[in-house]
């Protein structure tokens, strides 16, 4: 059984990671508009693997990387993370 504190810390870390990923996507969109140095697609995809909520939200809000076929993996990452979290919650409780 996990304690409430453990779940709270997990939630805070999850939110922090996803906010960070959102910011990376948003910064890259700003750089694309200004024709300045960009964040590599490989880096963005790697970050999306750990923060798919933030990546997906940034893709929708900023309209960034929505035409690149490789970024169709972001919803897949999101689904996988939801399944893993549901399994974890079911296992804990």
For residue 47, which of 30, 67, 28 has the smallest C-alpha distance? Answer: 28
Map out the domains of the chain as residue ranges.
4-92
Task: Identify whether the C-beta of residue 64 lies closer than 8 Å to the C-beta of residue 29.
Answer: yes
The pLDDT mean for the chain works out to 92
Looking at the chain, the whole-number percentage of residues with pLDDT higher than 70 is 97
Grade residue 2 by pLDDT with cuts at 50, 70 and 90. low
CB 50 within 8 A of CB 81: no
25 in Cβ contact with 58 (< 8 Å): yes
**Confidence band, pLDDT 50/70/90 cuts, at residue 1:** low
Please write the tens of the pLDDT for every residue from 35-79: 999 999 999 999 999 999 999 999 999 998 888 999 999 999 999
Query: What's the predicted TM-score (pTM) here?
Result: 0.88
What is residue 3's predicted lDDT score, i.e. its pLDDT?
75
Residue 4 scores a pLDDT above 90: no
The answer to whether the CB of 2 falls within 8 A of the CB of 31 is no
54: burial class by Cβ within 10 Å (0-12, 13-18, 19+)?
buried
């Amino acid at each position: 059984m996990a304690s409430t504190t453990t779940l709270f810390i997990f939630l805070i870390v999850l939110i922090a990671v996803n906010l960070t990923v959102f910011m990376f996507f948003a910064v890259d969109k700003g750089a694309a508009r200004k024709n300045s140095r960009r964040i590599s697609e490989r880096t963005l995809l790697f970050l999306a693997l750990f923060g798919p909520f933030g990546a997906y939200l940034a893709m929708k809000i900023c309209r960034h990387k929505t035409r690149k076929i490789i970024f169709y993996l972001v919803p897949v990452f999101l689904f996988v993370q939801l399944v893993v979290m549901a399994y974890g919650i079911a296992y804990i409780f």
